Amino acid sequence: MTTFRGANCGLGAKPVCSVFTDTGSNATEGSGGVEMRYEAPETMKAAVALLASDEHGRVLAGGTDLLVQLRADTIEPSLVVDIKKIDEMCAITRENGGFRIGAAVTGAELGEHEAFKSVWPGVVEALELIGSTQIQGRATMGGNLCNASPAADSVPAMIAAGAIATIEGPDGRRDVPVGEVATGPGRTSLRAGELVASFLFPEQAPRTGDAYLRFIPRTEMDIAVVGAGVCLTLDDSDVCVAAKVSLGAVAARALAPEAAAKALIGTPVDDAALAELSRAASAAAQPIDDKRGTREFRIQVTGVMARRAAETALARAKGA
């Protein structure tokens, strides 16, 4: 990835990079270039203090968005805080029957965590859709959420799963539902000095299944034109007793339309319920026309993706 080599040199200015600064004409040389401070604190407290000290500071987790933005000259931060040296941000732990996932845990690590994967296959498949194998070695859920792209793949899956974001800041720690962090393209509700530390996936009810599907014109290495996450719970007679539906890339932020969830609750998730889900999802979508697809196309395909994701979630709930 050429995307990485230039920016790494600027960030780290490590000797290992010198070979690239010589050969890569686009590399950001250490001397005489843009002045940017790079810090890699080892504690949450130090990270918060650094971020609070500089309003133009940026958090570096995997860097798969940040470094691209640096390279494209769309951002010029004076401070970059690398959070990967903070243990709790890279940890996967059990908590009250659920899972706590550090914000800097990579897609590759989560994808190999058999216990988490067996409980939340939809979340894992959403995260793993991001980029390539190489990108998966870097990309994180925390970064995916805080980059605040409306098309972020892991976000609708986390919202459907009912995940909670734990935020650390100068005023201490607070928990908010994942759906409340991103507020619009590139914008979050995080206050000065705050960062997302981890995600709590609460203990899952029995007979629950989740799934995430996105539409892209290709088969990989692309960005969602429409994304749909569904999580549903069945009772012993296969009636849906709880459901969450979340839609990505069809509004300024991921949506969680109540009507779409209600289309499933109280039904055996049969064809009629799925058709109603499809209608409700399409009705909730508020997409724009852009280079990735037309408004008309996105509205129609939102219903298709929601229905197909629900079918997979249903099969998982029954199989669980």
By CB under 8 A, name the binding residues for another protein. 6, 10, 22-29, 31-34, 72-73, 215, 217-223, 225, 291-294, 296-297, 300-301, 304
**Nearest residue (CB) to another protein, 83 versus 213:** 213
**Nearest residue (CB) to another protein, 93 versus 133:** 133
Considering the complex, what minimum distance in angstroms separates the CB of residue 32 from another protein?
5
Q: What are phi and psi of 260, to 5 degrees?
A: -70, -40
**Nearest residue (CB) to another protein, 6 versus 57:** 6
**Nearest residue (CB) to another protein, 24 versus 202:** 24
Considering the complex, what minimum distance in angstroms separates the CB of residue 232 from another protein?
21
Q: What are phi and psi of 212, to 5 degrees?
A: -135, 135
Q: 35 near 78, Cβ under 8 Å? A: yes
DSSP code string of 234-264: E-TTS-EEEEEEEEESSSSS-B--HHHHHHH
Residues 64, 49: Cα–Cα separation, whole Å? 24
Q: What are phi and psi of 239, to 5 degrees?
A: -95, 135
Considering the complex, what minimum distance in angstroms separates the CB of residue 123 from another protein?
22
**Nearest residue (CB) to another protein, 31 versus 237:** 31
For residue 159, which of 261, 12, 286, 292 has the smallest C-alpha distance?
261
Considering the complex, what minimum distance in angstroms separates the CB of residue 222 from another protein?
7
**Nearest residue (CB) to another protein, 151 versus 255:** 151
**Nearest residue (CB) to another protein, 229 versus 293:** 293
Considering the complex, what minimum distance in angstroms separates the CB of residue 65 from another protein?
12
What the block records as the tokens of 266 is 């109280």
What the block records as the tokens of 260 is 């779409």
Residues 306, 275: Cα–Cα separation, whole Å? 10
**Nearest residue (CB) to another protein, 176 versus 223:** 223
Considering the complex, what minimum distance in angstroms separates the CB of residue 315 from another protein?
19
Residues 52, 21: Cα–Cα separation, whole Å? 32
Considering the complex, what minimum distance in angstroms separates the CB of residue 293 from another protein?
6
Residues 271, 314: Cα–Cα separation, whole Å? 12
Considering the complex, what minimum distance in angstroms separates the CB of residue 100 from another protein?
32
Considering the complex, what minimum distance in angstroms separates the CB of residue 266 from another protein?
26
Q: 210 near 202, Cβ under 8 Å? A: no
**Residue 56: other Cβ atoms inside 10 A:** 10
**Nearest residue (CB) to another protein, 65 versus 168:** 65
Strand runs labelled E in the chain: 37-39, 57-60, 79-82, 92-95, 98-102, 164-169, 172-177, 182-184, 187-188, 195-201, 208-215, 226-234, 240-248
316's enclosing H/E stretch is helix 295-319
